[in-house]
Amino acid sequence: MTTKLVSQMTLEEKAALCVGINAWQTYAVERLDIPSITVSDGPHGVRRAQTIADGSLPATCFPTASALASSWDVELIRQLGQALADECIAIGVDVLLGPGNNMKRSPLCGRNFEYFSEDPYLGGEMAAAFIDGVQSKGVGTSLKHFAANNQETERMTVNAQIDERALREIYLAGFERAVKKSQPWTVMCAYNRLNGPYGSENHRLLVDILKEEWGFEGFVVSDWGAVHNRVNALIGGLDLEMPGPQEMRVQRVAEAVQRSELDEAVLDAAVERILHIVFKAKQTKKGGTQIDIDGHHALARQIAGETMVLLKNDNLLPLRNVKKLAVIGKAAKEPYFQGGGSSHINPTKVDMPLEELQKLANGAEISYADGYTMQDEFDQALIDEAVKIAAQAEVALLYIALPPFKESEGYDRKDIDLTNQEVALIKAVTGVQPRSVVILNNGSAVAMNEWIDGAGAVLEAWMMGQAGGGAIADVLFGRVNPSGRLAETFPLKLSDTPAYLNFPGENGEVRYGEGLFIGYRYYDAKNVPILFPFGYGLSYTTFEYSKLQLSKKAIKATDGLTVTVEVKNTGSVAGKTTVQVYVHDCKAELVRPEKELKGFAKVALAPGESKTISITLDERAFAYYHPGYQEWVVESGEFEILVGQSSADIGLKESVYVEAPRNRVAPLQRYSTLKEWLNHPRGQVVLESALAQFMKSIEQTFGEAVLASDAIEWAKDLPLDVVFAFWGQNLNMTSEELVENLLAQL
Ligand code: GLC
């Protein structure tokens, strides 16, 4: 249908369809009944604004991505997606601009609150569930920002230099998983350059990889203002430019076709992709419904409760029979529950944490002090006031939010510390009140080693959404047993972090020098001590994992593997735990991280209850990307399946032999080394006679002094022509001619 429609459109209409008609809508062609569709931010709420600058319509503000990923609960994220779709339908939005799935390369990235994880498997699963949920109701999504938008510094111009393995296995893998599992209606290109070309003109990224290799069927939309040349962007695979209007660019596109500078088929392909989504969107009527404000507020509270991570608890939580509580921190009255920038939602209502606490505190006497302001200023009087009420209370609750001047879309953090005022406040309060709970609102890891020893408990509440105040009270009083697990490592200090020497880059370039080794992959490899590991989180109960079993002790990679483990709640209250399955490749031709997350499952258990969990690993769970073959490869050999309650708490381990679908060997070429020739099944045969000559000449030259086998060991990393140049004197050809001759025999 769309192909026919494209043939009926004029060149000007086709060019116009590929640019927004305004900040949030696509171009309509009334004469052909092609409607306009409306897109809006996301990701954790619907930000329906008339222009880019003005405020948006009220909508539920849910926890942001870094919180959502800490739930490790794909069903819950799918449910969130459905709720967001309901709000899009009520407000009249056809495509929600999210989820953001860029990897957390450094905790300094100001936009980490909008991204899921440092691990592409977890990020990909979260993104796929979000997309499934939203799209199950006939509303589209926009998986963003494709790709390697891992910092805010110079985000519109910086060139991310990433080696092929790190690109494929880390920075694209989460997008690949989400595209293949859930087919987002749209993908949003990133602002930055990636190995040269801008995200909006990166043909290899948008066409070769996204559309052709992964089979993406929707359209690519630019980030707002990411297009630098509309014709180049169309050739690069960028279907829809936003925002509009851009009349001159529309005209340039038409002229380029007329001057045969742009193949009209390229324009038609973009138009076809856009029409495909426009008509898909229109299958679901928008408008005419109301947001279920109370129902979604309750859902936001439930989700927030699932995302909070109990990091420390010296038997202080849940609070029991506390009669005098000191509540300290501006965030207890003015909750800091979302981040700055394009994802900022106009909430339908907001829980005030202090009020929600009072509702559950069973009449406890509650005192309050600000403790700090959200400005970058130091005020000792505020600390003194807080210390006074803390000393008189049984328990002190410190609501500590990282203020917007520290982290936001548009700029990166300079450090991973709380403000000086907050650090001084925590130290002073815990100095007089050891029964102190620190409750954090932040978008990404913060350093704690200046104060954590003095705190009785630490609860990571993230940017918890509009109902986070209630969720914190639920967790503090035990109505909710915290089950969040970290989706990013919390380092001890900034200089320990993987990207420390290469963030945010300089002179317009940022080198991803750490390669594959981001997050726990790095801390494992370097054995760097950390504060809290990936996958970590405490509960009010305890769990025991046992009876790890593998479906087979030896498999063909293509058959996959089923991992079963028994999980028991060995404590006295109901709770949830997340079984994490990591894979270790015992031996590989290329370097691999110590272990990588390849499966997980969250399970709820009553006290004393046991359940057997099954997790299936597919072929990709054993594979890595080989730049030589330019594809994902599994090498036959021994793998270890590691199961634990965090990346640093691996309680169970079993081995499995994996047979590769085919054993690849590097193709021999002009400068292949002696070792590569000897490792090549055909190469070693073809080389045999020439090698015999080489061995003989070694013996003639060195006699017994040098064993030919030692000579081979010494020469193995030399290109074959160099070996013969040294020792092929009595050849009747040059060494390079000999190599060409041998290659021809292959
Ligand atoms: C912003 C963000 C992107 C957002 C878009 C529209 O610059 O990078 O995530 O969806 O523009 O607001």
pLDDT tens-digit map of 488-506: 999 999 999 999 999 999 9
pLDDT at 708: 73
Structure tokens at 723: 């070996």
Q: Tell me what the mean pLDDT of segment 451-456 comes to.
A: 98
Q: Is there an atom of ligand 1 within 6 Å of 435 CB?
A: no
Specify the ligand 1 atom closest to the Cα of 144: 9
Residue 53: per-residue pLDDT: 66
Check whether 52 has a pLDDT greater than 70. Answer: no
Distances (CA, A) of 67 to 173, 338, 468: 21, 10, 11
Position 3, amino acid: T
Give me the sign of the Cα torsion angle 695, 697, 702, 703: positive
> Who contacts 255 (Cβ-Cβ below 8 Å, separation ≥6)?
none
Q: What is the CA radius of gyration of the chain?
A: 29
The active-site residue out of 41, 223, 239, 351 is 223
The Å distance, Cα 519 to ligand 1 centre, comes to: 26
Q: Please confirm, yes or no, whether 417 is among the known catalytic residues.
A: no
Residue 705 has pLDDT above 80, yes or no: no
pLDDT at residue 701, rounded to an integer: 77
d(CA 384, CA 63): 33
User: How far is it, in rounded angstroms, from Cα 85 to Cα 303?
Assistant: 16
Using the mean position of ligand 1's atoms as its centre, give its distance from the Cα of residue 352 in Å. 29
Confidence of residue 571 (pLDDT cuts 50, 70, 90): very high
Mutation test of ligand 1: which of 191, 222, 342, 408 has the most ligand atoms closer than 8 Å to its C-beta?
A: 342
Q: Tell me, using a 6 A CB cutoff, whether residue 101 lines ligand 1.
A: no
Give the count of beta carbons closer than 10 Å to the beta carbon of residue 204: 15
Residues above pLDDT 70, as percent of the chain: 99
| Location of structure tokens 């898909």 | 280
Q: What is the pLDDT of residue 693?
A: 77
The answer to whether the CB of 26 is under 6 A from ligand 1 is: no
Ligand 1: distance of its center to the CA of 67 in Å? 20
Ligand 1, atom 7, lies closest to the CA of 224
Averaged pLDDT for residues 356-366: 97
Rounded distance, CA 197 to CA 132, Å? 31
- Per the CB < 8 A criterion, the answer to whether 71 and 77 are in contact is yes
Q: How is residue 580 annotated by DSSP?
A: E
Given pLDDT bands bounded at 50, 70 and 90, which one contains residue 728?
low
Residue 50 pLDDT more than 80?
A: no
Share of the chain above pLDDT 90, in %: 87
Q: How far is the CA of 304 from the centre of ligand 1 (A)?
A: 24
Query: What distance in angstroms lies between residue 100's CA and the mean position of ligand 1's atoms?
Result: 10
Cα distances (angstroms) measured from residue 341 to each of 45, 96, 228, 345: 13, 16, 22, 9
Residue 318: asked if its preceding bond is cis (omega within 30°), the reply is: yes
* Closest residue CA from atom 4 of ligand 1: 342
Q: Ligand 1, closest atom to CA 97?
A: 10
* DSSP structure string for 638-661: EEEEEEEEETTEEEEEEEEEEE-S
Cβ of 144 below 6 Å from ligand 1:
yes
Give the mean model confidence (pLDDT) for residues 592-607. Answer: 98
Residue nearest atom 12 of ligand 1, based on CA coordinates: 342
- Binding site membership of 192 for ligand 1 (Cβ less than 6 Å): no
State how far the Cα of 69 lies from the Cα of 62, in Å rounded to an integer: 13
Neighbouring-strand partners of residue 221: 188, 240
- How far is residue 525's CA from residue 285's CA, in Å, rounded to a whole number? 52
How far is it between the farthest Cα atoms of the chain? Answer: 100
Write down the number of H helices and E strands in the chain.
22, 28
Instruction: Judge whether residue 402 has pLDDT over 70.
Output: yes
Let me know: does 574 contact 607? Beta carbons within 8 Å. yes
Q: Which atom belonging to ligand 1 lies closest to the Cα atom of 155?
A: 8
The DSSP line for 521-558 is: HHHHHHT--EEE-TT--B-SS-EEEEEEEES-SEEEGG
User: Which parts of 249-296 are beta strand (E)?
Assistant: none
The ligand 1 atom at the shortest distance from the C-alpha of residue 47 is 12
Q: What is the pLDDT, as a whole number, of residue 664? A: 74
224 lines ligand 1 (CB under 6 A): yes
Cite the beta strand spans of 634-724 per DSSP E. Answer: 637-646, 649-659
Q: Is any atom of ligand 1 closer than 6 Å to the C-beta of 503?
A: no
Indicate if ligand 1 lies below 6 Å from the C-beta of 286: no
Q: Which of the 8 DSSP states describes residue 454?
A: G
At 343 the pLDDT is 94
Cα end-to-end distance, the chain, whole Å: 51
Question: Region 279-291: what's the mean pLDDT?
Answer: 96
Distance CA 125, CA 116 (A): 10
Q: Are 736 and 728 contacting, i.e. CB atoms less than 8 angstroms apart? A: no
- Residue 344 Cβ inside 6 Å of ligand 1? The answer reads no
pLDDT in tens, 628-660: 889 999 999 999 999 999 999 999 999 999 999
Q: How far is CA 308 from the centre of its chain?
A: 18
In this model, does residue 623 exceed pLDDT 80? yes
Contact 427, 372 (CB under 8 A): no
The pTM of this model reads 0.94
Confidence of residue 277 (pLDDT cuts 50, 70, 90): very high
Q: What average pLDDT does this structure show over 589-611?
A: 97
Query: Looking at the predicted structure, is the pLDDT value of residue 356 above 80?
Result: yes
- Count CB-CB contacts under 10 A for residue 376: 11
Position in ligand 1 atom list of the atom nearest CA 224 = 11
Q: Which atom of ligand 1 is the closest one to the Cα of 52? A: 12
Q: Is the pLDDT of residue 94 over 80?
A: yes
Q: How far is CA 17 from CA 247, 274, 358, in A?
A: 11, 8, 54
Whether residue 41 has its Cβ less than 6 Å from ligand 1: yes
Structure-model confidence comparison of residues 459 and 723, the more confident one: 459
| Highest mean pLDDT (candidates 299-308, 660-669, 670-679) | 299-308
Cα–Cα distance measured from residue 379 to residue 89, given in angstroms and rounded to the nearest whole number: 47
> By the 8 A CB rule, do 239 and 204 touch?
no
Check whether 729 has a pLDDT greater than 80: no
The confidence score (pLDDT) of residue 730 equals 61
Mean predicted confidence (pLDDT) in 249-260? 98
Q: Is the CB of 233 under 6 A from ligand 1?
A: no
Whether 163 has a pLDDT exceeding 70, the answer reads yes
Q: Which of 25, 39, 41 to mutate to test the pocket of ligand 1 (most atoms within 8 A of CB)?
A: 41
Cβ atoms 365, 323 nearer than 8 A: yes
Query: Any alpha helices (H) in 361-419, and if so which ranges?
Result: 380-392
Beta carbon of 273 within 6 Å of any ligand 1 atom:
no
Q: What is the pLDDT of residue 495?
A: 98
Would you state the pLDDT for residue 725?
83
Reduce the DSSP state of residue 240 to 3 states and report it.
Answer: strand
Q: Are 327 and 399 spatial neighbours (Cβ–Cβ below 8 Å)?
A: yes
154 by Cβ neighbours in 10 Å (0-12 / 13-18 / 19+) ranks as: middle
Please work out whether the CB of residue 24 comes within 6 Å of at least one atom of ligand 1: no
Instruction: Give strand ranges (E) for 335-468.
Output: 346-347, 365-369, 395-401, 436-441, 457-460
Residue carrying structure tokens 């026919």: 4
d(CA 393, CA 28): 64
Give φ, ψ of 519 to 5 degrees: 60, -140
Residue 104 to residue 115: CA distance in whole angstroms: 7
Residue nearest to atom 6 of ligand 1 (CA): 224
Query: Measured in angstroms, how far is the CA atom of residue 224 from the centroid of ligand 1?
Result: 6
CB-CB neighbours of 520 under 10 Å: 27
- pLDDT tens-digit readout, 116-147: 999 999 999 999 999 999 999 999 999 999 99
pLDDT score of 706: 73
- Ligand 1 atom 11: the closest Cα is on which residue? 224
Helices marked H in 333-400 — which ranges?
A: 353-360, 380-392
Residue 517: which of 531, 509, 529, 527 has the closest Cα?
A: 527
User: What integer is the mean pLDDT of 598-622?
Assistant: 98
Residue type, 727: W
Atom of ligand 1 nearest to the CA of 142: 10
The response to whether residue 152 sits with its C-beta less than 6 Å from ligand 1 reads no
Residue 191 alpha carbon, nearest atom of ligand 1 = 8
Confidence band of 714 (pLDDT split at 50, 70, 90): confident
Q: Indicate whether residue 102 lines ligand 1 (CB < 6 A).
A: no
Q: Which of 50, 51, 153, 224 to mutate to test the pocket of ligand 1 (most atoms within 8 A of CB)?
A: 224
Contact in structure between 195 and 547 (CB atoms under 8 Å): no
Mean pLDDT of the chain: 95
